[in-house]
Amino acid sequence: MGGYKDIIFQLLIFAAVLAAAYFTARYISKRGLKSAKSRHMHVADRLMLARDKTVYLVKVGKKYYLLGATNQQISILGKPEIDEEDDPGEKKQPAFSSFMAGAVRGKEPPADGDEAEEAREKKGFSIKKARGAWKRLMQRKRENEELLRRYRQEHRRKEEDE
Protein backbone atom coordinates (compact mmCIF):
# COMPACT_ATOMS: atom_id res chain seq x y z
CA MET A 1 0.00 0.00 0.00
CA GLY A 2 2.97 2.30 0.48
CA GLY A 3 3.35 2.56 -3.33
CA TYR A 4 -0.05 4.21 -3.80
CA LYS A 5 0.59 6.76 -1.08
CA ASP A 6 3.89 7.76 -2.68
CA ILE A 7 2.27 8.18 -6.13
CA ILE A 8 -0.58 10.29 -4.72
CA PHE A 9 1.89 12.40 -2.73
CA GLN A 10 4.03 12.97 -5.86
CA LEU A 11 0.93 13.92 -7.89
CA LEU A 12 -0.10 16.45 -5.21
CA ILE A 13 3.38 17.97 -5.20
CA PHE A 14 3.33 18.14 -9.03
CA ALA A 15 -0.10 19.85 -8.96
CA ALA A 16 1.14 22.35 -6.36
CA VAL A 17 4.20 23.18 -8.48
CA LEU A 18 1.99 23.68 -11.56
CA ALA A 19 -0.40 25.93 -9.64
CA ALA A 20 2.49 27.98 -8.25
CA ALA A 21 3.99 28.38 -11.73
CA TYR A 22 0.60 29.43 -13.15
CA PHE A 23 -0.10 32.07 -10.51
CA THR A 24 3.47 33.38 -10.63
CA ALA A 25 3.26 33.78 -14.42
CA ARG A 26 -0.06 35.63 -14.13
CA TYR A 27 1.33 37.94 -11.45
CA ILE A 28 4.46 38.75 -13.47
CA SER A 29 2.51 39.32 -16.69
CA LYS A 30 0.05 41.72 -15.03
CA ARG A 31 2.88 43.61 -13.39
CA GLY A 32 4.76 43.85 -16.68
CA LEU A 33 1.71 45.17 -18.54
CA LYS A 34 1.18 47.96 -16.03
CA SER A 35 4.69 49.26 -16.50
CA ALA A 36 4.41 49.18 -20.31
CA LYS A 37 1.27 51.37 -20.50
CA SER A 38 1.44 55.08 -21.20
CA ARG A 39 -1.20 57.79 -21.00
CA HIS A 40 0.19 59.95 -23.79
CA MET A 41 1.56 57.55 -26.38
CA HIS A 42 1.00 54.08 -27.74
CA VAL A 43 2.04 51.86 -30.65
CA ALA A 44 -0.76 52.17 -33.19
CA ASP A 45 0.69 49.58 -35.58
CA ARG A 46 3.86 47.62 -36.26
CA LEU A 47 5.36 45.70 -39.14
CA MET A 48 8.11 43.12 -38.82
CA LEU A 49 10.47 43.45 -41.78
CA ALA A 50 13.00 40.88 -40.64
CA ARG A 51 13.88 39.00 -37.49
CA ASP A 52 15.49 42.03 -35.86
CA LYS A 53 14.05 44.88 -37.96
CA THR A 54 10.65 46.42 -37.20
CA VAL A 55 8.75 49.52 -38.28
CA TYR A 56 6.46 51.09 -35.68
CA LEU A 57 3.68 53.64 -36.07
CA VAL A 58 3.58 55.47 -32.74
CA LYS A 59 0.81 57.89 -31.74
CA VAL A 60 1.93 60.72 -29.44
CA GLY A 61 -1.02 62.93 -28.58
CA LYS A 62 -2.68 63.49 -31.95
CA LYS A 63 0.51 63.14 -34.02
CA TYR A 64 1.97 60.01 -35.55
CA TYR A 65 5.61 59.07 -35.96
CA LEU A 66 7.07 56.27 -38.07
CA LEU A 67 9.99 54.63 -36.26
CA GLY A 68 12.46 52.05 -37.48
CA ALA A 69 13.95 49.76 -34.87
CA THR A 70 16.80 47.26 -34.98
CA ASN A 71 18.77 45.57 -32.23
CA GLN A 72 21.27 48.43 -32.24
CA GLN A 73 19.19 51.60 -32.75
CA ILE A 74 15.83 53.30 -33.12
CA SER A 75 15.39 56.08 -35.67
CA ILE A 76 12.55 58.33 -36.85
CA LEU A 77 11.65 57.48 -40.43
CA GLY A 78 9.00 60.14 -40.89
CA LYS A 79 5.86 61.87 -39.71
CA PRO A 80 2.95 60.48 -41.77
CA GLU A 81 -0.25 62.49 -42.20
CA ILE A 82 -3.08 60.25 -40.98
CA ASP A 83 -6.71 61.36 -40.95
CA GLU A 84 -8.84 60.60 -37.92
CA GLU A 85 -11.05 58.28 -39.99
CA ASP A 86 -7.96 56.31 -41.08
CA ASP A 87 -6.70 56.13 -37.51
CA PRO A 88 -5.20 52.64 -37.10
CA GLY A 89 -5.45 52.90 -33.32
CA GLU A 90 -9.25 53.18 -33.50
CA LYS A 91 -9.70 49.87 -35.31
CA LYS A 92 -9.71 47.16 -32.72
CA GLN A 93 -9.61 43.48 -33.46
CA PRO A 94 -12.33 41.29 -32.00
CA ALA A 95 -11.52 39.52 -28.78
CA PHE A 96 -9.97 36.08 -29.07
CA SER A 97 -12.82 34.59 -27.04
CA SER A 98 -15.40 35.80 -29.58
CA PHE A 99 -13.28 34.39 -32.39
CA MET A 100 -13.08 31.02 -30.65
CA ALA A 101 -16.80 31.04 -29.87
CA GLY A 102 -17.54 31.50 -33.58
CA ALA A 103 -15.13 28.74 -34.49
CA VAL A 104 -16.68 26.34 -32.00
CA ARG A 105 -20.20 27.05 -33.27
CA GLY A 106 -19.08 26.57 -36.82
CA LYS A 107 -19.57 28.79 -39.80
CA GLU A 108 -23.00 30.28 -40.15
CA PRO A 109 -24.65 30.12 -43.59
CA PRO A 110 -24.60 33.39 -45.49
CA ALA A 111 -27.58 35.61 -44.82
CA ASP A 112 -29.91 36.88 -47.55
CA GLY A 113 -30.90 40.41 -48.49
CA ASP A 114 -30.35 43.16 -45.95
CA GLU A 115 -28.77 40.78 -43.46
CA ALA A 116 -26.03 39.91 -45.95
CA GLU A 117 -25.38 43.61 -46.64
CA GLU A 118 -25.12 44.35 -42.90
CA ALA A 119 -22.79 41.39 -42.39
CA ARG A 120 -20.51 42.62 -45.20
CA GLU A 121 -20.51 46.17 -43.79
CA LYS A 122 -19.42 44.84 -40.41
CA LYS A 123 -16.47 43.13 -42.11
CA GLY A 124 -15.48 46.41 -43.76
CA PHE A 125 -16.95 45.81 -47.23
CA SER A 126 -20.06 47.54 -48.46
CA ILE A 127 -21.63 47.40 -51.90
CA LYS A 128 -22.83 50.97 -51.39
CA LYS A 129 -19.32 52.15 -50.57
CA ALA A 130 -17.87 50.32 -53.56
CA ARG A 131 -20.50 51.77 -55.92
CA GLY A 132 -19.90 55.26 -54.54
CA ALA A 133 -16.16 54.91 -55.02
CA TRP A 134 -16.69 53.61 -58.57
CA LYS A 135 -18.97 56.56 -59.41
CA ARG A 136 -16.41 59.03 -58.06
CA LEU A 137 -13.65 57.38 -60.11
CA MET A 138 -15.75 57.44 -63.29
CA GLN A 139 -16.67 61.10 -62.70
CA ARG A 140 -13.00 61.98 -62.21
CA LYS A 141 -12.13 60.07 -65.40
CA ARG A 142 -14.75 62.02 -67.40
CA GLU A 143 -13.45 65.31 -65.98
CA ASN A 144 -9.87 64.42 -66.87
CA GLU A 145 -10.87 63.39 -70.40
CA GLU A 146 -12.70 66.71 -70.83
CA LEU A 147 -9.66 68.65 -69.58
CA LEU A 148 -7.40 66.71 -71.96
CA ARG A 149 -9.75 67.38 -74.88
CA ARG A 150 -9.76 71.14 -74.11
CA TYR A 151 -5.98 71.18 -73.76
CA ARG A 152 -5.52 69.52 -77.14
CA GLN A 153 -7.96 71.95 -78.79
CA GLU A 154 -6.10 74.95 -77.35
CA HIS A 155 -2.75 73.63 -78.57
CA ARG A 156 -4.16 72.98 -82.05
CA ARG A 157 -5.41 76.57 -82.19
CA LYS A 158 -1.99 77.86 -81.06
CA GLU A 159 -0.25 75.78 -83.73
CA GLU A 160 -2.65 77.01 -86.42
CA ASP A 161 -2.12 80.63 -85.37
CA GLU A 162 1.65 80.30 -85.63
Question: Would you place residue 11 in the very low, low, confident or very high pLDDT band (cuts 50, 70, 90)?
Answer: very high
The tens digit of pLDDT for each residue in 111-141 reads 445 555 555 455 566 677 778 888 888 888 8
Domain ranges of the chain: 1-37, 39-83, 116-161
pLDDT(110) > 50 = no
pLDDT computed for residue 9 by the predictor: 92
Please report, rounded to a whole number, the percentage of residues in the chain having pLDDT higher than 70.
67
What is the C-alpha separation between 68 and 75, in angstroms, rounded?
5
In Å, how far are 24, 44, 128, 134 from 32, measured between CA atoms? 12, 19, 45, 48
Supply the pTM of this predicted model: 0.36
40: which residues sit within 8 A by CB, 6+ positions away? 60, 61
